[in-house]
Amino acid sequence: MSSAELWTVGRLLQWTTDYLKSHGADSPRLDAEVLLAHAMGCRRIELYTSFDEVPQDDARAVFRESVRRRAEGMPVAYLVGSREFYSLAFHVTPDVLIPRPETEQLVVAALDWAKENSPRPLGDGVRATDISADGLTLADIGTGSGILAVCLAKHLPTCRVTAVDISPAALTIAAENAKRHSVAERIEFIESDLFAQVPPERQFDCIVSNPPYIAEHEMRDLAADVRKFEPRMALTAGPKGTEVIERLIPQAAERLRPGGCLLIEISPMIHDTVCALFASDTRFELGPTIKDFARLPRVVQGKKRG
């Protein structure tokens, strides 16, 4: 067999890129590289020094099956079981949303709040990731894969986090991610619809949430891989998209200590409505909206008066 007929790494990548492109993939080359590296058990960058290598038969079989499923629309993150978020690798399955870069703004906002409100004074030049936030108690409502709870626990090494989700399957994934990043001892996982099952005496300094916020009529406009494969209950809250947030704001007001902060990721389409919900609850002082990398409103924040 001539070298041109061998299924080398380079030839597999080129063929797969063309194949996925013909099936509508947004980033066919990247998808091909991620899937092949996963099948071969190597880092993606290592493929560039292995273009002439012929992968083993078992690796090619795994790769072939994953390419088939990707062409059907299955997200790459679910196929490889992992997605990077805030420089950490998180295990993901179809039971949880795939982490998105926009949500990192929520982490940054919470860390900035902690820097300003840490019980221990911080010196000049201290970054948010260097905080020793003694005594801070945080809640992550709708934790999903646990990305917010884990990142906050990782970068606030003395805080304690309560991570809440209505899905037991999601909590299993979140707990696994907490163990993976060595913060499980400081995160309590509770299966609950918002605060319903959280002990009534529990109070928090900061509450973060990336709730379902897509209106039902917007679902048809989502990318097919999102619409068909990601958990619907984590995407849409109802006809308006604000149904969960409407319940979350008053419940959070009951659970925050005076001066505490509620940070909610939103869709730009519901920004004005969410701001109005905060404004209508006299227990909150509405803060400035934080914009994402596209300069769209992404995180709404309210401070508990008192």
Q: What is the pLDDT of residues 54-110, one digit of tens each?
A: 999 999 999 999 999 999 999 999 999 999 999 999 999 999 999 999 999 999 999
Give the C-alpha separation, 301 to 284, whole Å: 9
pLDDT digits (tens, 9 = 90+) for 196-214: 999 999 999 999 999 999 9
Structure-block tokens of residue 199:
């002990």
Distance of CA 33 to the CA centre of its chain: 23
Is it the case that residue 130 has pLDDT exceeding 80? no
Question: What is the model's pLDDT at position 2?
Answer: 45
pTM: 0.88
Buried-state track 199-213, b at ≥16 Cβ within 10 A, e below 16 = eeeeebbbbbbbbbb
The residues with which 300 forms a beta bridge, in sequence order, are 264
Domains defined along the chain, listed by start? 3-72 (1.10.8), 93-304 (3.40.50.150)
Q: Among residues of the chain, what percentage have pLDDT more than 90?
A: 86
Give the C-alpha separation, 25 to 31, whole Å: 8
Question: What is the model's pLDDT at position 119?
Answer: 62
Tell me which residue has tokens 């299924």. Answer: 7
Q: How many CB atoms lie within 10 A of CB 95?
A: 18
Q: Residue 56 region, left (φ>0) first, then alpha (ψ -120 to 50), else beta? A: beta
**270 against 5, higher pLDDT:** 270
Question: What is the model's pLDDT at position 92?
Answer: 97
Give the C-alpha separation, 57 to 79, whole Å: 19
Is it the case that residue 167 has pLDDT exceeding 70? yes
**246 against 121, higher pLDDT:** 246
Task: Please state the rounded mean pLDDT for residues 255-262.
Answer: 96
What amino acid is encoded at 273 in this protein?
Answer: T
Give the C-alpha separation, 1 to 52, whole Å: 14
Written as one string, the DSSP assignment of 89-109 is: EEE--TTSPPP-GGGHHHHHH
Give the C-alpha separation, 118 to 112, whole Å: 10
Task: Report residue 121: phi and psi, to 5°.
Answer: -55, 145
Question: What is the model's pLDDT at position 5?
Answer: 75
Question: What is the model's pLDDT at position 4?
Answer: 55
Written as one string, the DSSP assignment of the chain is: --GGGS--HHHHHHHHHHHHHHTT-SSHHHHHHHHHHHHHTS-GGGGGG-TT----HHHHHHHHHHHHHHHTT--HHHHHTEEEETTEEEE--TTSPPP-GGGHHHHHHHHHHHHHH-SS---TT--GGG---TT-EEEEET-TTTHHHHHHHHHSTT-EEEEEES-HHHHHHHHHHHHHTT-GGGEEEEE-STTTTS-TT--EEEEEE----EEGGGGGGS-HHHHHHS-HHHHEEESSS-HHHHHHHHHHHHHEEEEEEEEEE--GGGHHHHHHHHHHSTTEEE-PPEE-TTS-EEEEEEEE--
What amino acid is encoded at 3 in this protein?
Answer: S
Mean residue pLDDT across the chain: 92
Do the beta carbons of residue 265 and residue 210 sit within 8 Å?
A: yes
Question: What is the model's pLDDT at position 260?
Answer: 95
